[in-house]
Structure 1
Amino acid sequence: MKKLALVLVLQLSLTCLFAQVHQMSKGYVVPEDTLVQQKIKKWEDLKFGLFMHWGTYSEWGVVESWSICPEDEGWTQRKGPYGATYSGYKKAYENLQTTFNPTKFNPDKWVRAAKDAGMKYVVFTTKHHDGFSMFDTKQTDYKITSPKTPFSANPKSNVTKEIFKAFSKENFMIGAYFSKPDWHSENYWWPYFPPKDRNVNYDPAKHPEQWQKFKDFTYNQISELMTDYGKVDILWMDGGWVRPKSTIDTAVDWQKAITFNQDIDMPKIAAMARKKQPGLIMVDRTVAGQYENYTTPEQQVPAASLDHPWESCITMGNSWSYVPGDKYKSANEIISLLVKIVSRGGNLLMNIGPGPDGDWDPVAYSRLQQIGKWIKINGEGIYRSAAVAPYSENNIYYTKSVKNNATYAFFTSDKESLTLPATITLHLNDKAKVKKISLLGINKKLKWTADKAGTVVIQNSPGTLTQSGLLNAAVYKIKY
């Protein structure tokens, strides 16, 4: 099995690293529920979250779910020893359930690393498109707690519950990723027909009883997650092709291929979920309306500040799921992403894919440790901040604190080490008189001048940053 997995990794490494990039939907709708509005404001202040894609696919080190989708796309290629036929590959893929045994699973270790890095919320894949449930659902036996799965004998086999419990203890906001499509469910990909693409493989209008079974299945699984897993703050729903046909945006290529009306009755789901979890934030990705409470640009940072709540979900490596030898972004790249996103009013949800043994790659821990050193000095310009004009100029990015009368200017670098120029000029739109400027992490007075137009010139003494050991980005605090 190990040799076969290695072959798969080598042959799929060039095609499975990038899954589909989702465009943001247009036309944000402010949720009517005041409890939801309040929770969104709280979530916006957190700025930095942890995303985790984890399932049986980590055993092969392949893209999450997509290799069993019968579409001819770069991220759906089936190669290796099982790839000759679709049915043979899918059978072998689903048989991974019988060998999945992540004995190094220790969510407390993840919490410590994430908290030290300054992360404030977590979103975990309770179920991806392949339908394998990482929680103890009663709706299917295709789950981590099934007797068919070796890890079911482990006292921590209900990994979703264990992850939520561990992160809740450290006051993280808790998010449940949930795939609306389910490619294992016989009521979504009905065995009477072969699957043709990512969509339901029959017309729900012609077979309403079949579709109703799938709606009930989906409703019941979400109900379980809202009932038995402690406090849940975010229901993060993926698979935007499962949607009412009236909501399809034909300007988006992948939505053009949605043939059938795949309405799963979101109003009913939302009413149930929010009764169990008052104030629940719902993220029905790419489906604009009452149930997309914030938008989720994927693997990208918007070019400008947006007028509604948003979050960039971005991988720490190249892949969403675990891939041996994945190339991880440097700490400097991640810090620069965080600064850019926050300066435009968004949150960063950074993904790390656990491996088949139940742990992260050591590189991921190293990156989080480096980020943590920086965030402990400069976090006051990140958390509870808002976008402020001029937002950015060249390599300088701005934020404004919502708790004190201060603006922060982040001087970023394309290298880990920092070399400040002799002078830095800031063009602040706020023309109030500047009273004080300091450089976070440096106990040294700065010389500066400011005029009524909001132009500030800061003089940097040579060697300031070298003496302090500050890396990645320097942050100036401007008080009025």
Structure 2
Amino acid sequence: MRKYFLLLLFMAGYNLPMFAQEEHPYVPETDTAVLHKLDNWQDWKFGLMIHWGPYSIKGVVESWSICPEDEGWTQRKPYGIPYYQYLQEYEALPTKFNPVKFNPSKWADAAKAAGMKYLVFTTKHHDGFNMFDTKQSDYKITAANVPFSKNPKANIAREVFDAFRNDGFHIGAYFSKPDWHSPYYWWPYFPPKDRNVNYEIKKYPERWKQFQQFTYKQIEELMSGYGKIDILWLDGGWVRPLSMQTEESLSWSKTPPQDQDINMPAITEMAREHQPGLIVVDRSVHGPYENYRTPEQQIPAKPLSYPWETCMTMGNSWSYVPGDQYKSTNTIIHNLVDIVAKGGNYLLNIGPGPDGDFDPVAYTRLDSIGQWMSVNGSAIYNTRVIAPYKDGKVCFTQLKDGHLVNAIYLLPENEQLPGIISFTGIVPRRGTKVRVLGSKQKLPWKVSGNQINIVIPKSLQKAAWKYAVVFQFEK
């Protein structure tokens, strides 16, 4: 289908540039302050992402229901409602948004107890509703027609950032480059056709310039008025220069591709003037402003040669959906171990409800994760990859100094520890005993061919192990 689409564009006479191959090389950062922050970020390993906005009232996937694209992804509720009627109802949701249970300190305390080290919060999603007190738009949480605007905590992004910062978190600001409410992106004069800008930029360059300025000023507000920010996490990768289009980004458009250059050089320079060492993540736009990459809802099959972070939902949806099905603690911890063993970070998302609180199940998961991390966190934080990374049910990490190695056995749900833990590829230092995190016992080991066997005594097998067990040794 993609090839057919490109062929049609050429037949129609569109002047397309030569697009690069799908897998672009990673462009290393040169700013020493950013490099230092990136190295620190790779120590944090585990973070919390929060998708939240008035869309939680409808319990629909965030923003996308107002985008006239694939019906299966952008399903509107109730089914069959005319588009413009739905859009009007959707854009009126803020007038009903009054999350009276909003208490970001409760979120921060639960995330800290779970062992999370950093936060990425949605200051604005694609629908253009601002969860901060921007001066560039009236479509915001502090607008007079929003019931919550009378609350002392109305400037939600500030409250969230302050609460998590007070709990020792590093702060990331999610910001959507496309803005489907802005007349400079979706001009009401034209109907939207897909997720992209809905007018010809070449024909109306001044309007696009206004959008560039609008975006620049909003990001400057966040970078200058909301305390220390460590990460600028930019979403909406179809907003990019035409020369940087890829096969993937072309597939996101039903209309001819345009030069949606948002002027990332100027934005990045400004942002780092306010926030020295800021990590900039212009996600999916492979180039100098993508300091780390963000595979979404997936874990790479093997380690990657550049900094990366899996962003994944705790439930099935990024935003609040009534009755959402949450991943088990076992699955979440296995994901964390697998990701860290391959050199990545794990950014786990929770979507608060319209009342301003997490689902009770989310708190239960965070508590269970925290109990495991309190014992085994030394095998996660401040670690780096070591080959062979994973062998069967055993994942490997090593401390940054390379002295200690962790062999992390992924315990199947509702099973006890086996009598022998075996793996290949890493040999403990001769004479060393294997330490089990969570126990004072040290275990002998032996070599059988190219396989290392750690013998587990029956008393240790019967202990109440959950999720994963860490065997630590010198190499």
TM-score (norm. length: structure 2): 0.93
Aligned equivalents of 1:54, 1:423: Cα separation in 2: 46
The SS at the match of 2:179 is coil
Aligned equivalents of 1:432, 1:254: Cα separation in 2: 52
Aligned equivalents of 1:149, 1:465: Cα separation in 2: 57
In the comparison of the two structures, how many residue pairs are matched? 454
Q: Is the 8 A contact 2:224 2:274 kept in 1?
A: yes
Give how far 1:419 is off: 1.8
2:454 paired residue number? 458
Aligned equivalents of 1:377, 1:112: Cα separation in 2: 18
The SS at the match of 2:84 is helix
Per-residue CA shift, 1:167-198, capped at 9, x if unaligned? Answer: 11122110000000000000100111111100
Q: Does 1:181 align with 2:178?
A: yes
2:245 paired residue number? 248
The SS at the match of 1:216 is helix
Give how far 1:447 is off: 2.4
1:10 paired residue number? none
The SS at the match of 1:372 is helix
TM-align CA RMSD: 1.7
Aligned equivalents of 1:136, 1:454: Cα separation in 2: 61
2:189 paired residue number? 192
Per-residue CA shift, 1:383-428, capped at 9, x if unaligned? Answer: 001111111111111111114611101111230x342222122223
Q: Does 1:471 align with 2:466?
A: yes
**Which runs of 5 or more structure 1 residues have no equivalent in the other structure?**
1-23
Query: What does residue range 228-243 of structure 1 map to in structure 2 within 5 Å?
Result: 228-243=225-240
Per-residue CA shift, 1:113-133, capped at 9, x if unaligned? Answer: 000000000000000000000
Q: Is the 8 A contact 2:343 2:385 kept in 1?
A: yes
The SS at the match of 1:124 is strand
Q: Is the 8 A contact 1:249 1:255 kept in 2?
A: no
Q: Is the 8 A contact 2:195 2:252 kept in 1?
A: no
1:151 paired residue number? 148
2:368 paired residue number? 370
1:407 paired residue number? 405
Q: Is the 8 A contact 1:418 1:465 kept in 2?
A: no
Amino acid across the alignment from 2:405: T
TM-score (norm. length: structure 1): 0.92
Query: What does residue range 263-302 of structure 1 map to in structure 2 within 5 Å?
Result: 263-302=261-300
Give how far 1:108 is off: 0.5
The match for 1:348 among 346, 349, 367 is 346
Give how far 1:456 is off: 2.2
Aligned equivalents of 1:301, 1:406: Cα separation in 2: 25
Give how far 1:152 is off: 0.3
The match for 2:418 among 417, 421, 435 is 421
Aligned equivalents of 1:474, 1:422: Cα separation in 2: 13
Give how far 1:376 is off: 0.6
The SS at the match of 2:191 is coil
Deviating more after overlay: 420-429 vs 302-311: 420-429
Q: Is the 8 A contact 1:407 1:477 kept in 2?
A: yes
Q: Does 1:162 align with 2:184?
A: no
Give how far 1:228 is off: 0.6
| Change in 2 beyond 3 A, CA 1:256/1:96 | closer
Deviating more after overlay: 165-174 vs 100-109: 165-174
Deviating more after overlay: 318-327 vs 435-444: 435-444
Q: Does 1:139 align with 2:136?
A: yes
Q: Is the 8 A contact 2:427 2:452 kept in 1?
A: no
Deviating more after overlay: 354-363 vs 424-433: 424-433
Query: What does residue range 373-384 of structure 1 map to in structure 2 within 5 Å?
Result: 373-384=371-382
Q: Does 1:89 align with 2:60?
A: no
Query: What does residue range 10-21 of structure 1 map to in structure 2 within 5 Å?
Result: none
2:100 paired residue number? 103
2:18 paired residue number? none
Aligned equivalents of 1:456, 1:414: Cα separation in 2: 21
Amino acid across the alignment from 2:28: V
| Change in 2 beyond 3 A, CA 1:161/1:434 | farther
Q: Is the 8 A contact 1:432 1:454 kept in 2?
A: no
Q: Is the 8 A contact 1:248 1:256 kept in 2?
A: no
| Identical amino acids, percent of aligned pairs | 55
